[in-house]
Amino acid sequence: MAGLANNKCGHLLFGIRDGGTVVEGMSDDKFEILDPALLSSHLVSCLDPVPRVARVSHTIGRKKIGVIHVEKHERAPVIALKNVGSDLREGAIYFRHVGETRQIKPGELRAIIEAREARAVAEFGKRMIRVASGAGATIDLDTGEVLGRTGSFVIDKKLLPSIQFVREGDFSQTKGAPTLRLVGDVQPISAADRETVRVVRDAITPHAIVENFLLNNRVNEPLAYLHAQAYYPRKWMPIWHDVHQLSMSVDDLVEDLRSLAACPPTSRDAIVQRLRGTQSAFAIYTGKPKSMLAAFRPGKISVPKDDADLRKLRPPTQRGRVQS
């Protein structure tokens, strides 16, 4: 199996006389009742990387034969992990020739390595083209963030040191390790599903929203910050700091916010009203605030220096509350 996986693939036949074409058939049913898990455990313990095999029985002239197909391994060379009798030697690389399997020669090994490098370069080029065209995504192994042109998601950082990606049909060589199984190609969800399926990101706190505004920090996901403000019952959050970082129109932003079914309607509608310009934090005050402003301008009232000065300016009904 190691020799076939390192060459061009091949078949192992059971019930055929060795060196000829005479069908003798299998003398018992051991081939058919062999537990696939047992075969897999033997391969995992003896060879690395593990060859892919397929097993099938066939009838010729009322005689059953067994066939094991060994695929050419894309990550060759397959190497023996331990000694098994006199046939398998630890650390050896075997190669299938016509009529025999023996340890690989330097030229054959060099050809395997060169072919592997060529495939790696070609595969890297294809992936970069997919990422550039928006059909693929990249994963940041430091942060766990998977980014693509049409969307993104985050893998928990706690899983990154031990996570393994196993393509369907491969053997999982580390038992108990967190594994992401790749089955076919990942397909984008439909537009209808996108309305109900949401990506769960790290919590965005009101403190982070205000701090980024005060420090004039740009954020990676301004739309996520705008969404977060729709979940907090705070009326005058700095929404425009995030809006100005987006390339979306007001109509598109309003439609997007309206799709947030789980947020408090009053908080969401307050942002919509501010986006539409029907509500603003700016107001022309009347009454006592107006007279105080008129006294401030000519200097009749000095600027408060501490909380005691500020308390004198508060209306009687508000002197027991902390104002900001």
C-alpha separations of 76 from 86, 103, 184, 219, 320 in Å: 23, 14, 22, 44, 77
Number of domains in the chain: 3
- Summarize pLDDT for 250-291 with one digit per residue, the tens: 888 888 888 876 677 888 888 888 888 888 777 777 777 788
Query: Does residue 160 lie within any of the structural domains?
Result: no
Amino acid making up residue 139: I
Q: What would the two tokens of residue 209 be?
A: 């929203």
Both ends of the chain: CA-CA distance in Å?
76
Instruction: Give the domain-ending residue among 65, 82, 105.
Output: 105
86 domain residue, yes or no: yes
The range of the structural domain enclosing residue 61 comes to 2-105
For residue 65, what pLDDT is reported? 93
- pLDDT score recorded for residue 86: 83
Query: 258 and 219: one domain?
Result: yes
Asked if 46 contacts 82 with a C-beta cutoff of 8 angstroms, the reply is yes
CATH of the domain at 22: 3.30.950.30
Q: Per the domain annotation, does 112 fall within a domain?
A: no
Q: Closest Cα partner for 234 from 283, 279, 268, 275?
A: 268
Are 40 and 64 within one domain?
A: yes
Residue 300 sits in the same domain as residue 210: no
Q: Using CA atoms, how far apart are residues 69 and 156, in angstroms rounded to an integer?
A: 39
**What are the Cα distances from residue 36, in Å, to 5, 42, 59, 131, 227?**
19, 10, 21, 38, 50
Residues belonging to the chain: 324
Q: Is residue 314 part of a domain?
A: yes
Query: Which pLDDT tens digit goes with each residue over 24-58?
Result: 999 999 998 888 888 888 888 899 999 999 999 99
pLDDT at position 322 is 43
Final residue of a domain: which of 105, 129, 144?
105
Residue 40 contacts by C-beta under 8 Å, 6 or more apart in sequence?
50, 171
- 271 shares its domain with 293: no
pLDDT given at position 64: 93
CA distances from 237 to 116, 233, 234, 242, 283 (A): 55, 10, 6, 10, 16
pLDDT at position 97: 87
Q: Is the same domain home to 300 and 211?
A: no
- The neighbouring-strand residues paired with 167 are 182
Which residues of the chain carry a pLDDT beneath 50?
A: 166-179, 181-191, 193-202, 318-324
Domain-ending residue, one of 77, 105, 133: 105
